Structure 1
Amino acid sequence: MFFENFNYDNKVAIITNDTQYTYEQLHLLTKEYSLHSTQKELVLLLCENNIQFIAAYMAVLQAGHAVMLMGANTNKQLLDSIVTTYQPKWIIGSISFADYVQMGNVSERTLFASYVIHSDLALLLSTSGTTGSQKFVRLSYANLQTNAESIVTYLQIEQDERAILNLPLSYSYGLSILNSHLQAGATVLLTEESVMAKTFWQFVEEHQATSLAGVPFTYQMLSRIGFFKMELPHLKMLTQAGGHLEERLVKLFGEYAEQHNKKFYIMYGQTEAAPRMSYIPTDKLLRKAGSIGIAIPGGQFELAPETNELIYKGANVMLGYAETLDDLAKGDENKGILHTGDVAEVDADGYYTITGRMKRFVKLFGLRINLDDVERKLVSIGEQPVACTGSDDKLVVMIESELLLADVKRCLEKMYKLHHSAYKIIVADAIPRMANGKTDYKAIKDEML
C-alpha cells in the first residue's frame, strides 16, 4: 500500500521550501509518532502542508488506526464540537483542547472513552470544508489504495514525476495527489503558496515541477496572471477537478497543452469516492470539453432510469457517512455503489456530462430553476466568476464586477422570465470560497440575512 511503500530508499519523496526527504527519511519520520494502543483508535490530524503532517498521516495508517483530517485553520468552535463528538485518542497539531495533555504537537486524551472502530475504517474526511457540520465520509484502506492505483494508471504517473501540491491535505483532491504519487514512487513538491505568488513559480522552476493540479478557481487565476506566456519547459501535465470548469477555459488550456506538447486532464470526483470517478483522455479533450469524460479504470457509470441521476460503481466508493461516534463501528453500507446527486446525460461515445444537481434547484412562482444551469449561462455571458444560490422565494446571484450587472439582469428577465422581485444580485469584491477553492454558497446566503 502507498503508505507502506518505502522500497525506493534514496529516491526523493517530498521536497519543501526548506529541504527534501527521501522515501527512507520519510519512513524514519513516521517512527517519531508513538501511537501504541491495545485497540484501534481515532486520531485527529490538523493538517498543514508540511512534512510533519505527511509523516503523521502515514504513521497513523501504518499503525492501523483511523485518521480524521481537518485543516489547521478550521473554526475552533467547530473543532471543539468535533472533538467532543468523536473523542479522538490523539490530536496532532499545535492547538490545545480541554481534557487533553499536549506533548510537542501531539495531544493525548486524559479521560477514558470506550468505543469501537470498524477494522476497515482508515480515513474520515469532512463533507463541508472548514465551516460546516460534523458529518464525515468514512473511507477504507481499500478505497484509498484502489483509487491511488487507478489515478497512477490513467495519469501514467512515473517515478520521475514531480507534482506540485499546494491544495490542502485535508481536501480529498489534495490528498489524492499525495497518495497517488507515493504509490508510484514519485516526488511531491509541497507548499502552501498560491499560484498568485511569485515565490510559487520560483519554487516550480527551481524544483522542475512536472505537473500542476488545480480547482476551477486556480485556472481562472492562471488565465489572468500570464500563465500562457511563462517558460515552463519541465511542466508536462495539468490536472483539474473540484468542480465544473467553464468550457471556454477547458478549450483555452486544452489548446495551450496541445501547442506546447503537454497534457491537460479534466477530472470529476467526490470525497465519497476517495475521490476520483472520471477523466477525459487528453486526445479527446477538445472534442469533449463540456463533459466529465469516462469512468476511471475499475469504475463504471450508469444513469438512474427516472431521474438521470449519475450512479457510480467501484471499489473506491466510501463505506458510508459518520455523524456520531457510534457510526465509526459501521461497516460497508454502500457495497461499491454511489448515488452522486448529480444529474447527467451520456453521449453516443459513452462520455458523461453533468447537467445539474438533484438538490441545486429553486422553485420561483411555480417555475423549477436549475441553479447550476443559471450559473453556467451567466458565466458564459461575461466570462467572469458568478455564483448562484437562493431559496423558493428568491434567486441570489453574486458577481465580482459592476459591469456585468445590466447583462445579468437582462438574462434573468428575458431568458428565465423572472420578475425583478424574484431575484437579488450582489456585487462583491470576491465570491466567497472555502479552503478547497469551491464556492461557499452558505456564506453567500448569509449575506442575504
Structure 2
Amino acid sequence: MTTTTPAALRAAAERFGDGEAVADGSVRLSWHDLLTAAETVARALIAEGLAPEDRVALCAPNTHHWVAAVLGAQYAGCVAVPVNTRFTEPEMAEILTRSRARALFVVGTFLGVDRLARLQGFLDGVTVIRIPGEGDRPSPDVIEWDALGAVAERVPVEVARARADAVTPDQVSDILFTSGTTGRSKGAMTAHRQALGVAAAWVECGEVTSADRYLIVNPFFHSFGYKAGILAALLSGATMVPQAVFDLDRTLELVERERITVLPGPPTIYQTMLDRPGKRPSTLRLAVTGAAPVPVVLVERMRSELSFQTVLTAYGLTEAVVVTMCRPGDAPETVSRTSGRAVAGFEVRIAGDTREILVRGPNVMLGYLDDPEATAQAVDGDGWLHTGDVGVLDADGYLTITDRLKDMYVCGGFNVYPAEVEQVLARLPGVSECAVVGVPHERLGEVGRAHIILAPGTSLSTEDVLAHCAERLANYKIPRSVEFRTELPRNATGKILKRMLRDG
C-alpha cells in the first residue's frame, strides 16, 4: 500500500486513469485530471513561497475545489488544516493563528456569509486563494481559484513532483482541530501513513471498488468526509460525488442521477430518507453510520426499503479516525447493538472499574499541536489512547458504547463539548452559573440544553441566551433549550451532577 498522499494520488491516476474521479455538477474530473489539478495547486503554493511542512488551511464546502486543494497542498509537502465552515469568525481565526497557517483556501460567500470578509485582520502574511462563492466581489488581496493556473506557471511541474517525492510516510499530513473538554480546541496531528491506513481499512470493510459512486455528504473538514471520503476514494478508485450542504431533495436527486452506490452518514440521514414518501432509491449498496444509536428497525428498513445491501456501524474519534467497524454479513442486531470490531491494526481494551475504552495501534495520532500536556493526558506511556468513552467488548471483540466519561454529546453527527458552550455562556452578563447537557432529539440524535442560574438582580430570556450563543458558536453547538434554575444538583465535593440534569 502507498504510504503518502502524493504517492497514492499518482497511483490512482495510473490505476484508474480516465475513470471518473470527481462528479461535481458540470465539473467532471478523471483521475488524470485530478492529478493535474492537484499539481497545479502545488505549483501555485510553491510559487507563493510555501515550504515543505507549512500549514495550509481549508475552509470551504464539499466541492471539487476542496478535493484538488487538499491533495495539492499535500503534494507540495504541506500540512492540511481543515476548518469547519460552520465556525464563527473567532473560532476560525483561532485555528488560523494557532496552526500558523501560511495559506488559506476559503470560499467567498456561502450560505449568505462572506467568510473571507469576516477574516480580514487575521490574514497578514497568509496567501489567500478564494474558492468561488455566491456573488463574490473582486478583491485585489486574494488569488481567485480560476487564476491558480497562471500563478502555477511560475513553477515547473518537475519542481512540484520533486516536492511530492520528498514527502515521507511519517511526515504530518493534516491537523484536525477538535474541541476539548476544557473548552480549548486541540489540533490532532496525523502522519500520511496513518491517514491512509485508516482509509484503507474503511475501504476493505466496506468492500469499496472503482465501480462504486460515493456521495460524500459528510463535510470534508471532518475526518469522516476527508479520510473516510476523499482518501478512501483515492485508494479504491470510487467516484467522488460531493454535496455541499445536506438537503434531502438534492440528496435524492443525486442518488438517482449519479446512480450512487455508497452513502455514509449519521442515522438521521437515513431516517429522513425513510420518512419521505415517494420513490425509493434502487442503486444504493453501502451505508456506514454511527455517532448516535442505531435502532435495529432502522437497519432493517435501510436494507429492505432503501436498497442497501450492506449497513455497517463504526466507532472512531479524531485522534484515531476509525477504530472499529462491523463487517458485511453481520446481523442487523449486531450492527445496531455494537460498533463492530477493531480495524486498521488497532487494539481495543476496557480499563478496569471505569470501563473506559482504550485504543492502541499504528494509527493513533502523533499528538496534539503544541500541547504536550494534553497529549500526555490522552495517550499514556504504553501508547494507549484514552477515549473518554465507556463500553464493553463481547467474546468476539465487538465493541458496544455504553456511556461517556466526558460530557461530549453528538448533534447531527457533530461532537459538541459542553465545556466550550459553558465558557461562552459564562461571558453573558447575568449568568452566575451554568451547565450544558445533551438531551435526546428525534432527528439530530442529541441537542444541547442549558441550565442557568442568574446573578442576583438580573434577568435574561431564552432569546437573550440563544442570541449570545449564535454570535459566538457554530449552529450545532447552540443549545436548543434553556432552563433557568435556582440551583444545580451537586455531589458532596460540589461537582455538578450532569447525569441528574440529563435524566431530569
TM-score for the superposition, normalised by structure 1: 0.73
What is residue 268 of structure 1 aligned with on the other side? 315
Residue in structure 2 matching 1:6, options 9, 13, 28? 13
Does 1:315 pair with 2:315?
no
Does 1:167 pair with 2:218?
yes
Question: What secondary structure does 1:125 align onto?
Answer: strand
What is residue 144 of structure 2 aligned with on the other side? 104
What is residue 58 of structure 1 aligned with on the other side? 71
What is residue 237 of structure 1 aligned with on the other side? 286
Distance 2:144 2:448 in 1: 44
Question: What secondary structure does 2:234 align onto?
Answer: helix
Question: What secondary structure does 2:386 align onto?
Answer: strand
What is residue 409 of structure 1 aligned with on the other side? none
CA RMSD of aligned residues (A): 3.9
Does 1:35 pair with 2:45?
yes
- Cα deviations across residues 53-91 of structure 1 (Å, max 9, x unaligned)? 210100111111111011344312222233233321111
Runs of 5+ in structure 2 lacking a partner? 3-7, 109-115, 127-140, 152-168, 409-417, 419-436, 454-461, 486-504
What is residue 331 of structure 2 aligned with on the other side? 285
Conservation of the 8 A alpha-carbon contact between 1:143 and 1:316: yes
Distance 1:265 1:283 in 2: 9
Distance 1:448 1:298, change over 3 A: farther
Question: What secondary structure does 2:319 align onto?
Answer: helix
Q: Residue type of the partner of 1:125?
A: L
Q: Residue type of the partner of 1:310?
A: I
What is residue 86 of structure 1 aligned with on the other side? 99
Distance 1:55 1:325 in 2: 32
Tell me the CA shift for residue 446 of structure 1. Answer: 7.0
Conservation of the 8 A alpha-carbon contact between 1:66 and 1:124: yes
Counterparts of residues 15-34 of structure 1 (less than 5 Å): 15-33=23-41, 34=44
Conservation of the 8 A alpha-carbon contact between 1:181 and 1:187: yes
Question: What secondary structure does 2:248 align onto?
Answer: coil
Distance 1:252 1:447 in 2: 32
- Cα deviations across residues 369-392 of structure 1 (Å, max 9, x unaligned)? xx78xx5xx67xx89955465679
Distance 1:39 1:156, change over 3 A: closer
Q: Residue type of the partner of 1:239?
A: V
Runs of 5+ in structure 1 lacking a partner? 109-117, 363-370, 394-425
Counterparts of residues 324-343 of structure 1 (less than 5 Å): 337-343=384-390
- Cα deviations across residues 165-192 of structure 1 (Å, max 9, x unaligned)? 1221001111121111111111111122
Tell me the CA shift for residue 354 of structure 1. Answer: 0.8
Q: Residue type of the partner of 1:245?
A: P
Distance 2:69 2:78 in 1: 12
Conservation of the 8 A alpha-carbon contact between 1:195 and 1:222: no
Tell me the CA shift for residue 269 of structure 1. Answer: 1.0
Conservation of the 8 A alpha-carbon contact between 2:271 and 2:298: no
Conservation of the 8 A alpha-carbon contact between 2:448 and 2:481: no
What is residue 208 of structure 1 aligned with on the other side? 259
Distance 1:72 1:384 in 2: 19
Distance 1:53 1:345 in 2: 38
Q: Residue type of the partner of 1:6?
A: A
Question: What secondary structure does 2:81 align onto?
Answer: strand
Name the % identity.
Answer: 20
Conservation of the 8 A alpha-carbon contact between 1:318 and 1:334: no
Does 1:189 pair with 2:241?
yes
Conservation of the 8 A alpha-carbon contact between 1:167 and 1:192: no
Does 1:306 pair with 2:306?
no
Distance 1:193 1:89, change over 3 A: closer
- Cα deviations across residues 129-177 of structure 1 (Å, max 9, x unaligned)? 9xx7442211111110101111111111111010111221001111121
What is residue 137 of structure 2 aligned with on the other side? none
Distance 1:346 1:283 in 2: 19
What is residue 479 of structure 2 aligned with on the other side? 443
Tell me the CA shift for residue 225 of structure 1. Answer: 1.7
Does 1:149 pair with 2:189?
no
Question: What secondary structure does 1:180 align onto?
Answer: helix
